[in-house]
Every structure is written in C-alpha cells, then in structure tokens.
Structure 1
Amino acid sequence: MAVLCQDTSPIDIVLVLFQAGEAIWARGFFEERSDQSEVKARIVEKYFSAWATVVMPTAELKNGKIAYIDLYAGPGRYRDGSASTPLLVLERAISNPRMAKMLVALLNDANKDNTSTLQEEIDALQGIENLKFKPEVSCGEIDEDAARFFMQTTLIPSFSFVDPFGYKGLSLKIVNGVIKDWGCDCVFFFNYNRINAGINNPAVTSHMNALFGEARANALRKQLEGKKPDLREALILEALANEIKNLGGTFVLPFTFRNAAGTRTSHKLIFVSKHFKGYDIMKGIMAKESSTHDQGVPSLTYSPADADMPLLFSLQRPLDALEGDLLAKYANQEVTFDQIYQKHSVDTPYVRPNYREILIKLEKETKVKAYSTTGKRKAFTYPEHVRIRFKG
C-alpha cells in the first residue's frame, strides 16, 4: 500500500482528512477549459516535473518515494476533453520510468461524481499500469483535523496543489503543514475576488481569521478602509505573504490572473517553498507564462486583454529601476552574480537574464569591474569564480 508518511502510517488515514472546499463553485469550474486554466495547468505540471527531477536523487537514497497531492482534483478532464492538472501529472510520471517507480499520487475531491469520473479517467490512461504505486482517489472534507495531521506528520518529498483556494474550511495551517518537511513545496489557488469581498464581511470573519491569522486579519481590515482597488490588492497580498512567511514558508511567489477585460484581478496562484532553488525554478516558469514583458522583465501576470493593449505594461521600464537599485545597493562592494541574484531577486519580478543584461551594460560603461579569481574568463560572463566590483 502506498504511504505518504515517512513511517508506516497507512494512506487511508490521510485520505479521510482530505476535502475539496467550495463544491458549488466548482461544479462550473470544469465545464470548459479557459486560457487561464491552461496557463494554470502548465505552471503546475511544469513545476512538478522540474521539482521531481531535483528531489528524486535524494529521495531514492531514503525510501524511494515522492508524492503529488491534489486536494481539489476535479473530474480529470474539462468538458471539451482537455486533461486537467492531475492527469497531466500522471502522464508525465508514466512517460518517465524513474518517476513511475517513485510517484505516490493522492487525489481528492468533495464531489462524488468528480471522484468517480476521475477514477475512470485514470484507469483509462495509457501506461497507467507502469506506475509502481496506484494513484489514490478519495472523497472528503478538509477540517482542523487535517491541519493537525499535516503539522504532526513527517511527509515524504511532496508537491501539493490546493485548488480552488477559497476560505471555507481552509487555512494557511494546511499550507504550512504540506511544506514543512524536506523537499516539500506547494501551490495554492487564491480566490482574490472572494477574499477581497469577504475580509470585511462579519459572516465570514472566522474564515478570514483562519486564513490570515486573527491579529493580522484585524490589522488588515483597518488598513483597507477607504483604500483604492490597486492598493487593496497590494495590502491583501502582502498580508498573505507575511503570514505564510511567519508560518515557515520562506519564499512566496504569486502569479496573477486578470479578468477578460484586463481591468482587475480575478485570482492568483501562490507558490510557497522553503528553498531558493524552488523559488528560482518557479519564477522562470511563471516568467514564460506571463502575457507581457517590459524590457525583458516578466509581469508574472496572465491577462487575456494584454494582446490588445501591448503598450500598457511597456511604459513602466523596470530594467531602468533595476540598474539604479543595484548601483545604490552594492556601491563599493564586491560580490558574485549568484550573491546578487539570490539576495536581490526575492519578492521582485526580475529573473536571471535581467541581471545579466544589466551587469553587461554596467561593465561596458565601466560602472562595475569584473575579474576572475582563476585568471580565466569569457568576456561578459559571470560564473561563480568571477567577482563583480561596484564603484562608489
């Protein structure tokens, strides 16, 4: 029997604790796949593949297992026949013999019709018999017992996907529980529209407190009074990120989805990890899925309207800001490229190529000097043995 825990705890214990959240909203979620759903699925599947590649060598030396946990798996396909995230992940594992021997897939939904259809879709996958551990499909609700279980149980390396992430029955304790152990990362769906509407609604105070923490939620309610939409969004996201970090998630990376008109945020995918490597990989994936780039800097946003408004984002010129910030922050200092990138890029939209482009520009303008500690260097490259000296 497949096991999620490092010890011999049976998977059945885990499955009893799973739930789906907001079943009524979800009934229409899988009617047809939108462009946004495609982007979301690609982000999750691409990261799962990259994450598995990183953790499998170490996991093989331990108990030979990695896990994919989906707390809101749905029926497996959209009405148009397109595969949703769980099937994409299983297909990826089937195509990789090494992964096929290690993957433990735990798939849950609160809707019995969804779990029944999902099981049928899994059974119909070509090559499904090649997976060493049969995917486990369950139907249940998440509650406080689930949060306690994840907090008290040592998990095997796991990538967890929590979608949709409203507020009923869910708290960031779940997120903390599924990322606390080695090799464990998480992506969750943050329904911004519902949270924005609910933060000041007395009827859902307990849910908001569970999501942000009571003290932070109370402070946020005061901060939001009279604020314009853009500032409200920034404050809510900052409060969420700070609470996640307070609970143990070192790196938090949001990807924003806007409505069809591109006028406001509808929801976000929030990635959480304890390791910079995971953060760096996911940022690269999200960068490629961004619908706009300005001077090569990704928006980390998907908006269906961006194709019709190409100049809207391009007026920001973020690389100019990066250049000025680096010159000020590292004045009279000597550092490596990785030191700059790992320290400066966190909580910004900048990716590795942006830093490389700016450093090349600064070196050509003699505002920085780069030299190799080994005496050998290809011009305008910045491997680990190259030191970068900023002028004052």
Structure 2
Amino acid sequence: MSKEAIWDIAAHTSVKHDLLRTYLGAWFPILGKFNRRVVFMDGFAGPGRYLNGEPGSPAIALGTFLDHNYAANLSGTEYIFVFTENHAERFASLEQVVEAERVARGGWPEHVKVIVENKNFTEVAEDILGSLGHKDLAPTFAFLDPFGYKDVPMDVIRRLMSYSKSELFIYFDINSLNRFATAGQQVDVHFEALYGTTEFKNAPAAGDPGRQQFLHDLYERQLKNVCGFKHVRSFEMLGANGKAINYLFFCTNSSVGFDRMKGAMWKAAPSGDFRFRDSLGGQPVLFQPEPDTAPLQSQLLETFAGKTVDISTLADFVVTSTPYVSSHLKTRTLVPLQLAGKISSPNQRRPKQFPPGTQVTFPSLPAIATD
C-alpha cells in the first residue's frame, strides 16, 4: 500500500483521537438515553489504521461505544456509524479494518448499523439529507478531519447539523488557508464553499500579521451565524517550536457538552510535542496540568465589577465564555480572589466554600482619572 494511503501517526493526531475517545465515552450514553437514534459520522475516515497498526478514528469510535460499560443499557437506541473515505486505496484499507472489527466481535449488535462509503463527505452528507426528505435528523456527532480546505462546505454542515442536539468537531487547517486564501479564482470557489461567504476576500494580504486571525475569526463567526451553534470554541494546537499547527473547532448547543469537551482538552493537552492554547481578555491561556487562572480571575473582576451574582451565573460564564471549565471556578479561582480580599459574599456560611446559592460580590473598578 502506498505512502499516500497509510502513514505514521503524528503526535497531534494521537491527541485528537484521545479527545474523541474521551468525549464520545460521555456523549454516546447521554444521547442514547433520550433518543431513539444516534449518528456518528466520520467524514474523512482515512485508512482506518496507521503504519504501525495504531487504530484510526473509525475503530476508536466503534470501540468507545461497543466496549462502554453502559452499552448493555443502550439497546433500545439505534446507533449508526457512517465512515466516508474518497481515496481508493485508503478506502480499501478502511473496509478491511471495519470488517476485521466486525468479525472480531462476532458481528455487530442488532441496534448498531455501520456504513462505509467510498465517497467524499459532501456526497454522503447529501445522500443522508436527501433520504430524510422533510424528516428531522437524529442527534449527530460529526468528526471532520480533512486534508486542507476542500470538501467541507458551510451549507452542508449547516443542514447536516440542523438538529439541535448535533455537535461538530472539525479540524481547521489554518496554514493551508493562510497560504491560499485570496490566491485567485481557482481556489476562490473552494473558499466560498468553506466559509459560505465571499468575505474571506477581505482578508489582509499575505504576510500581514492580522491575516491568520481574520481567517480564523470569520470561520468562527460563520459557524455561529450560518450553522446556528450556540457555543463555538477553537483550540489552537502549538507544535514543539511554539508555532501553530492548526485549530480544532468544537461546536454545540449544549453547555454541558461544551464543558466536557473543554475538560477533555485540559486533560489531553500537556505534551512535549504540542500544546493547546486559547486566550481570554487578550491574555494567552495555555492548557497545562496546573491551570494558571490569573486570566480568569482578571476577567471575572472586570465582567462582574460592582455586582453581586449567584455562583451559578459565574459557573455559566466560565463554561460558555472562557477557555476554562466549571471545575476551575471555585478552588482555583474564587478562593484565591477571596483570600486576596478581592471578592466577598453576603451569604457565605464558611470561607472558601461556594455551595449552590452562594452570592459573590465583586468590587467596582477604580474610576479612571480624567483631566
């Protein structure tokens, strides 16, 4: 098999797979409890394995579900796995991997359906949408890990993800975009499909330090405005040299799901080969074993200055508006602020304790002197 069809696994790919495994371990049972059908779609499934036999994302998704200790309780829900790969040699390998998985398990359970397609993501998505007619989609988790910027149209994502409980985890190849955006008509058609707009043509010229941020921010805005996701967050992957490898975007309408995925990021990120980075209030936030919550402390003091708010309001803000997770709020953030005398509470029974119902008071910001 050629090198184009199967290759060594990269460190950042292993981490994407760890994130997928961790998150799906929670997503599958939660969605299965309340829905009759759940769909996992791997839009760029690849060969299904790597050069030294490491499992690809299809085997990881199947194994995460089938080996889950809660799987026996989910037989009342139909689970559909859709794996698509357009490249002929990769597809041949993918078929072998999926079939070997089926045989090793003595066949798929009755409530599990596995579809392997030798088509590109757009074709399969259109097939699914066409077969539904006017019916609603089932909750769908779409894992899209394309090479470059082709075959991930914003409009197709919008329609495929139209069910409110659907979620998207997508690789965003910022280096390819930075290189080819505004290059001319031959690529413009792909960029217009990717963004769902021609606004990418307004990106600063190549070499401008604001170009990459513009292309990133436009994509984030389109995922919110076009696809209707309530929560969209990107995670910048940095290589060992400190330069950006790519971005991972996670999109959902669930604040619980949002918190869980960010938690998986914090857990998986530390490595000698790469790191995750985000920002808050203009300050960089590196995902590391011992989180530095200084940016979060500053943001809370600024956002809630002069107000008394419930602890639940603060938790919601942390989850939906910052790179941090709910578990970072109390011990790592509010306690240091209280010990420093920067916050108080009118109804707190014990210092450093913030149970439900606790009110937190933030001081007003100092007045800015004017001439």
TM-score normalized by structure 1? Answer: 0.77
- Contact 2:5–2:89 (Cα < 8 Å) also in 1: no
Partner of residue 208, structure 2: 227
For the pair 1:240 / 2:219, whether they are aligned, the reply is yes
Q: Alignment partner of 1:331: what SS?
A: coil
Alpha-carbon distance in 2 for matches of 1:290, 1:366: 33
Amino acid at match of 2:16: K
Letter in 2 for 1:43: L
Deviation at 1:124, TM superposition (A): 2.1
| TM-fit CA distance, 1:89 | 1.1
Change (3 A) 1:301 1:365: closer
Q: Is the 8 A contact 2:48 2:93 kept in 1?
A: yes
Match of 1:13 in 2: none
Corresponding residue to 2:234 among 245, 248, 254: 254
1:98 match = 73
Pick one of 302, 307, 326 that aligns with 1:333: 307
Tell whether the 8 Å contact from 1:45 to 1:88 is kept in structure 2 after alignment. Answer: yes
Distance 1:53 1:143, change over 3 A: closer
Q: Which residue of 2 aligns with 1:12?
A: none
Q: Which residue of 2 aligns with 1:213?
A: 196
- 2:296 aligned with 1:322, yes or no? yes
In the alignment, what sits opposite 1:17?
A: none
SS at match of 1:382: coil
Provide the C-alpha distance between the structure 2 equivalents of 1:325 and 1:255, rounded to a whole number of angstroms.
Answer: 19
Q: Secondary structure of 1:188's partner?
A: strand
Cα deviation per residue 1:39-76 (whole Å; 9 max; x = unaligned)?
Answer: 011111211221123212111xxxx2211111111221
- Aligned partners of 2:157, 2:81: CA distance in 1, in Å? 18
Secondary structure at the aligned position of 1:369 is classed as: coil
Structure 2 unaligned blocks of 5 or more: 279-285, 365-371
Superposed CA deviations along residues 119-146 of structure 1, whole A, max 9, x for unmatched, are: 2222222325252223111111344894
Q: CA deviation at 1:379?
A: 4.5
CA contact (8 A) 2:238 2:277 kept: yes
How far the C-alpha of 1:270 sits from its partner, in A, is 1.4
Aligned equivalents of 2:300 and 2:5: distance in 1? 44
Residue pair 1:253, 1:347 contacting (<8 A) in 2 also: no
Partner of 1:305: none
Where does residue 168 of structure 2 map in the other structure? 186
* Residue 179 to residue 131, structure 1, CA distance change in 2 (3 Å): same
Q: Following TM superposition, by how much is the alpha carbon of 1:184 offset from its aligned partner in structure 2, in angstroms?
A: 0.8
Q: Is the 8 A contact 1:69 1:160 kept in 2?
A: yes
Q: Which runs of 5+ in 1 are unaligned?
A: 1-25, 303-311
Distance 1:378 1:66, change over 3 A: farther
- Distance in 1, matches of 2:162 and 2:319, equals 23
Letter in 1 for 2:8: E
Residue 380 to residue 289, structure 1, CA distance change in 2 (3 Å): same
Greater shift in the superposed pair: 123-132 or 180-189:
123-132
- 8 Å CA contact 1:93–1:103 kept in 2: the answer is no
1:27 positional shift: 5.8
Percent identity of paired positions between Structure 1 and Structure 2:
21
How far does the alpha carbon of each residue in 1:268-322 deviate from its partner, in whole angstroms, 9 at most, with x for none?
22111122221111111111122279xxxx96349xxxxxxxxx999xx963333
Instruction: Give 1:1-392 correspondences, 5 Å limit.
Output: 28=4, 30-59=6-35, 64-95=36-67, 96-99=71-74, 102-125=78-101, 126-127=104-105, 129-132=107-110, 133-143=112-122, 146=125, 150=129, 154-164=136-146, 166-202=148-184, 203-219=186-202, 221=203, 223-224=204-205, 227-228=208-209, 231-247=210-226, 248-259=228-239, 261-291=240-270, 300-301=276-277, 319-356=293-330, 357-370=332-345, 372=347, 379-392=351-364
Contact 1:167–1:195 under 8 Å retained in 2: yes
Residues 339 and 147 of structure 1, relative CA distance in 2, 3 Å threshold: farther
2:119, 2:128 → 1: CA distance?
15
CA distance in 1, matches of 2:91, 2:32: 28
Cα distance in structure 1, aligned partners of 2:339 and 2:350: 14
Letter of the structure 2 residue corresponding to residue 390 of structure 1: F
With 204-213 and 125-134 compared, the bigger mean Cα shift is at: 125-134
* Cα distance in 1, alignment partners of residues 3 and 155 from structure 2: 26
CA drift of 1:329 comes to: 1.9
Post-superposition shift, 1:384?
A: 2.4
Does the aligned pair in 2 maintain the 1:192–1:267 contact within 8 Å?
yes
In the TM superposition, residue 382 of structure 1 has moved relative to its aligned partner by 2.3
SS in 2 for 1:175: helix
Q: Please, what is the CA RMSD of the aligned residues?
A: 3.1
Please tell me the residue identity of whatever aligns with 2:166. Answer: C
CA spacing shift, 1:29–1:232, aligned 2, 3 Å: farther
1:307 matched residue in structure 2: none
Q: What's the TM-score once normalised by structure 2's chain length?
A: 0.81
> What amino acid is the match of 2:152?
L
The residue type paired with residue 94 of structure 1 is: L
* In structure 2, C-alpha distance between the alignment counterparts of 1:115 and 1:378, rounded to whole Å: 60
Shift of residue 255, structure 1, vs aligned partner? 2.4
Quote the Cα distance in structure 2 between the aligned partners of 1:334 and 1:378.
Answer: 18
Return the alpha-carbon distance in structure 1 between the equivalents of residues 140 and 149 of structure 2.
23
For 1:65 and 1:330, how far apart are their aligned partners in 2? 42
Q: What's the secondary structure of 2:344's corresponding residue?
A: strand
